[in-house]
Structure formats: C-alpha cells, structure tokens
C-alpha cells in the first residue's frame, strides 16, 4: 500500500518534468510527510493537455453524501479497480500521475512496535505513482480527489510490506494518462527488482504531525 510519502521537487521543475501546465494553488513543497486527506500534486489530462493540479488525497465516490460518508479510499488495488464501483469509471477515463520523492512503509517487531522505512528510486529520480482521480460534489461542496494505485510487492519490497504503489517509468506516462490510446492495464505491475531502495528512518514519522527533512534521514537498524 502507500499511506504516507514525501515530495521535494520544486513546482516549476515538476511541471517541466511532466510537461504539464501548473495550476496556481499547488501544495507547498517540500513536504516530507504527506498524509491522507492532504492536498497532493496530480498530473492528469485536461482540455489543453497535461494539467498539474492540487487534489485531495482520498478518492470520494460520487454516491458519498459527505467526504466521510464511507471508508477513506487513499489506495486502489490494481487487481480489482476495473470491477469496483468506486473506481471502474475512473480506471477507464480518469487516470493520473502523483509525483513523489519517496514513500514510507512500516515493519513490526514481535511486540508490535512499528518501524518506518523510506523508499526511493535507486537512481535518485522522482517517482511517478499511477493514480485515479474523481470530482465529487454534494450540497454545494466540490472536491477534486485522487487515489494511488497499488499492486503486489516485488520480492525486494516484499521484505517490508506485501503491497506497493504502482511506479510508472517515464516511457509509460503517456499510455497511462490515455494519450497513446488504450491498453494501460499491463502497466499495473510491480516495479522491476532493484528499481527502488529502502532505508530505516526515525520513528518520529509515525506521527502525522511530524515535519522536516530529518524524517527521511537514514538511521542505524
């Protein structure tokens, strides 16, 4: 799964990397502790091509009468999103990318103590998570929302957690966004082994109020 991540890429660099037109209300960067329901950077196709916008991390199905009217859908399972009522329409026509510098995952010891890991690309390049987005409106309230697509972990990441976000290579961005026609389903797979690297970080990131670059600094196991 993906329940917390960091984004440090400047907004202008983000727009240039993804060749997207940026909105004026993008979330502030750097943010070393992006949490569910926070605004996140999302690249999607608009009328004028790729758009870089702010969306709420937490997909809200159209039938919710309020944002908290059901489970908080921060992730969409790749194996079932084409059939799930909440995601199937978005999987066909509202696919997106969510940029990140790295993401966090946790392991537990025999006593149930949670130990955080920070996971990045080995080559230092930004991550691009496969995502879905949805407009939601009720009683005059309008939100644009998104969820990160996850898949079974590869062997390397499986040592930490059994799920991982779908990380898309740059050559796959256009197909996922729908710019190169259909056939994006095969992209929903684990990243190749050795694409990512992980290191332990301080347990202070267990708090959603923690902030600062020290959250991603490696510590001794």
Which residues are catalytically annotated? 2, 105
CA atoms of 44 and 181, how far apart (whole Å): 15
- Nearest Cα to 142, choosing from 69, 55, 76? 55
Instruction: Give the Å distances, CA to CA, from 5 to 2, 67, 129, 211.
Output: 8, 22, 11, 12
- The torsion of the CA quartet 214, 30, 175, 144, rounded to 10 degrees, works out to 120
Stated length of the chain:
221
| Cα atoms in the 13 Å half-sphere on the side-chain side of 126 | 20
CA atoms of 128 and 10, how far apart (whole Å): 15
CA atoms of 167 and 164, how far apart (whole Å): 9
Instruction: List phi, psi (to 5°) of 184.
Output: -85, -10
User: Which residues share a beta bridge with 45?
Assistant: 50
């Amino acid at each position: 799964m993906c329940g917390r991540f960091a984004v440090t890429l400047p907004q202008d660099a983000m727009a240039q990397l993804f060749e997207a037109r940026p909105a004026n209300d993008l979330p502030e960067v750097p943010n070393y502790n992006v949490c569910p329901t926070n605004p996140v950077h999302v690249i999607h196709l608009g009328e004028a091509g790729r758009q870089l916008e702010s969306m709420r991390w937490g997909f809200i199905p159209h039938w919710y009468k309020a944002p908290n009217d059901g489970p908080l859908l921060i992730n969409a399972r790749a194996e079932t999103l084409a059939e799930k009522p909440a995601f199937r329409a978005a999987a066909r026509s509202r696919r997106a990318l969510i940029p990140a510098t790295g993401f966090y995952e946790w392991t537990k010891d025999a006593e149930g103590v949670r130990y955080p890991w920070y996971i990045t690309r080995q080559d230092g390049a930004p991550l691009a998570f496969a995502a879905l987005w949805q407009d939601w409106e009720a009683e005059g309230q309008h939100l644009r929302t998104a969820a990160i697509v996850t898949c079974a972990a590869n062997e390397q990441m499986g040592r930490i957690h059994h799920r991982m976000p779908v990380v898309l290579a740059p050559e796959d961005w256009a197909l996922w966004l729908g710019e190169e026609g259909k056939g994006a389903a095969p992209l929903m797979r684990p990243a190749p082994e050795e694409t990512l690297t992980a290191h332990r970080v301080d347990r202070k990131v267990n708090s959603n109020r923690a902030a600062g670059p020290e959250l991603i600094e490696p510590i001794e196991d």
